[in-house]
Amino acid sequence: MCLIAFTLGQSSHFPLVVAANRDEFFRRPTAPMHWWQTDSGFDILAGRDLQSGGTWLAVSPEGAVSAVTNVREGAPETGRRSRGELPLKALQEPIPALAAGLSKDAGEYSGFNLLNLAGTAGWYYSNRDAHPGRHIHRGLYGLSNHLLQTPWPKLLRLRQAMGTVVATASEDSEALHTELISLLQDTTPAPDHLLPDTGIGRETERFLSSPFIVGEDYGTRATTVVSVSRQGEIRVTEQSWGPWSERGECCHFLWQR
């Protein structure tokens, strides 16, 4: 997952809204979002990385959301453990136990950001943060492949636009999802003078600078929106994409907690 915007307590109708694009190589085997059980028997709604067995974004039956992004580094070291296991751990473990385990094992993983969101609050941890592990509360947030709220152009574009959409949303969650999925298909590149320098070269920075990435071998593979209403309605929509943004399967889930 490479771009996530989310709101906590910014709508009178939806305490929690998450909008995300997952960017990945198209050759990496992946199962679309579906209900499945973790090894410990915990039910989750998530896509599945068929290469490493984990996921990038998961939703619990109660409407908690966890997600992971990698940290973009010029020459990253390969971690001994898959970052895809982290969203699963986040939904199953209490925050104190999760924080203790991550502090102990942070070096086992390549650079990552982990979000755990529920209601109008959440928790964020990065093994590249000087002070990892912080609680987050009401507000409008964005996360890409650097630390939470790092003002990369695509993060700022999505965060601002999403904030407006959520603040003015009616009670119609389906309409909200339709609008956010459209918003996440923004292919506007950042101007060169605003590009970050993460050690991967200017051409690649430019290619990765839009909220939605279009490519033949690598690009946005899934667009996911999650909303939890004040009345306990949980709606999840995930649109899959192929090379050159070819539209794939769209999965819809709706339940009452």
For 136-146, what is each residue's pLDDT tens digit? 999 999 999 99
Query: To the nearest whole percent, how much of the chain has pLDDT over 70?
Result: 99
The reported pLDDT for the residue numbered 75 is 66
The domain made up of 3-256 has a fold known as Penicillin V Acylase; Chain A (3.60.60)
The reported pLDDT for the residue numbered 233 is 98
Please give the average per-residue pLDDT across 86-96, as a whole number. Answer: 96
Residue 105 in this model has a pLDDT that exceeds 70? yes
Domain locations along the chain: 3-256
| Closest to 153 in 3D by CA, of 126, 191, 200, 199 | 191
Residue 119 in this model has a pLDDT that exceeds 70? yes
* Mean per-residue pLDDT of the chain: 95
Residue 102 in this model has a pLDDT that exceeds 70? yes
**SS3 of 77-100:** CCCCCCHHHHHHHHHHCCHHHHHH
For 30-74, what is each residue's pLDDT tens digit? 999 999 999 889 999 999 999 998 999 999 999 999 999 999 987
User: DSSP readout, 183-225?
Assistant: HTT--PPPPGGG----SS-HHHHHHT-SSS---SSEEEEEEEE
Asked whether the beta carbons of 4 and 17 are under 8 A apart, the reply is no
CA dihedral 184, 188, 193, 194 (to 10 degrees): -10
Could you tell me how many residues make up the chain? 257
Please give the average per-residue pLDDT across 120-130, as a whole number. Answer: 96
For 134-186, what is each residue's pLDDT tens digit? 999 999 999 999 999 999 999 999 999 999 999 999 999 999 999 999 999 99
Q: Which amino acid is at 204?
A: T
First and final C-alpha spacing in the chain: 26
Residue 77 in this model has a pLDDT that exceeds 80? no
Q: Rounded to whole angstroms, what are the CA distances from 239 to 118, 152, 155, 242, 244?
A: 23, 24, 20, 10, 14
| Closest to 124 in 3D by CA, of 76, 84, 66 | 66
| Closest to 92 in 3D by CA, of 48, 50, 37 | 37
